[in-house]
Amino acid sequence: MLAPGARADVRVDLNVIAIPNEDEMDGELLLFNQTTGREYRLQYWIAFQRPPIGSADILLVDDDSGLSFQTFYQMALDTQGFSYATWDVKAQGAYPVADVMRPFDTVIWFLSAKSLNEYTDKTSMSYILDFNSRHLFETDLQRYLAEGGNLLLSGQDYLDDKESAMFSRETLGVELRTRDAAAQSITGISGNPVGNAFISTSLVFPSAIENLVDDLRLVRPEAQPAFYANSNTLRRVGVTMDTCTYRSVFLAFPLETMSQIAAQTILRNSLRWFAGKSAASQGLASFAPSRIDLAVDSPPYIFRASGQGFVMQNGYQARLQDWALQSVTRVDCQTITGEIPSTITPGTYSFSLTTGDGHTWRFPQAIEISNSASVQEWSVFEP
């Protein structure tokens, strides 16, 4: 409680979802004190700093904590004539959001030695901020990929402590099998579009990077092993994912520990494979049934929504306006099923579906619910 005449400094953090076209904004912020009932008006001014991105096919997300490994990737891309823009996470103080990534066909994200396991105190503010910022970036990446983007992620120690379990399982199609198993050599797997015909090559770890290459287990049917380590075909360290909307390559080893020629081969194979993906489509196409008569049709009332782009396995929510639908299940990339509550009341309802990657689609006037038992028929008698 402030004494009469006392003054307090107030800081307000504004979470800007999308940066507007203007370079600056100003306005008035209204604050209301529920205890005293008084209103306070604060003038604000915000300047937006936009990093130079430019026009390119690839967004190179440099997440190596300020080290200089971005030059390795830039040289590999320059040598093969790929156009790219670089986003330095440490310099920008943030990861790129979905709006930044959306114009690019491919995102290449590399972490080098960076790992959340560097933090011994998982309650520290530094760990919480790093964890949250990565989680938000992964959420934006899921949205970007569901819209038809592509991802190449090179990050050893990425899966430790399950800090990214949903993203790794759903989006990359893998989980941790053996932690920090180390790898001295990498071999491509025959038949894989990225690893095919890739001969065995040694890994050389500089002093800045400890050898913490994880062993992977594949958990989605769309995932395919691409590389194995130490001449052991069961020691999977690279995986490709080919889904109905996106393609991804996950390398559990730092690409920069390879020779430049070997790394260029993996980059070239990955980017050529990405380029072969047809444009993704998304949205609802149909909803069935179109009618239910509560007096005639018996529950359970099963619905079937058809469309394109249902890429995530989990996380779906469906509604008929204010009615939450039950047992919502992804059958495949074109089909969602579920159950309409038996307590629903008569009316005409629009259908909405929120996908596992955060998109929401609507199908207007999807179904008519009626109850013929409540309709009374009157006979007309002639005098």
- What is the tens place of the pLDDT at every residue in 53-106? 556 899 999 999 888 899 999 999 999 999 999 999 999 999 999 999 999 999
Q: Is the peptide bond before 300 cis (omega within 30 degrees of 0)?
A: yes
Spatial distance between the Cα atoms of 124 and 300, rounded to a whole number of angstroms = 49
Average pLDDT of span 174-180:
86
- Axis-axis angle for helices 70-80, 260-275 (nearest 10): 60
Average pLDDT of span 173-187:
89
Pair of tokens at residue 130: 């790093």
- What pLDDT is attached to residue 49? 47
pLDDT category at 220 given cuts 50, 70, 90 is very high
Of 162 and 119, the structure prediction assigns the larger pLDDT to: 119
Cβ neighbors of 158 (< 8 A, separation 6 or more) are: 111, 115, 164, 168, 214, 252
- What pLDDT is attached to residue 123? 81
- What pLDDT is attached to residue 53? 56
Say if residue 127 is exposed, middle or buried (CB neighbours under 10 Å; 0-12, 13-18, 19+): middle
- What pLDDT is attached to residue 20? 44
Cβ neighbors of 347 (< 8 A, separation 6 or more) are: 368, 369
- What pLDDT is attached to residue 143? 94
Spatial distance between the Cα atoms of 13 and 270, rounded to a whole number of angstroms = 41
- What pLDDT is attached to residue 19? 45
pTM of the model: 0.81
For the chain, what percent of residues have pLDDT higher than 70?
Answer: 84
pLDDT at 29 over 80: no
> Cβ of 250: how many Cβ atoms within 10 Å?
25
- What pLDDT is attached to residue 109? 97
Q: At residue 178, what is the residue type? A: T
- What pLDDT is attached to residue 77? 95
pLDDT at 351 over 50: yes
pLDDT category at 140 given cuts 50, 70, 90 is very high
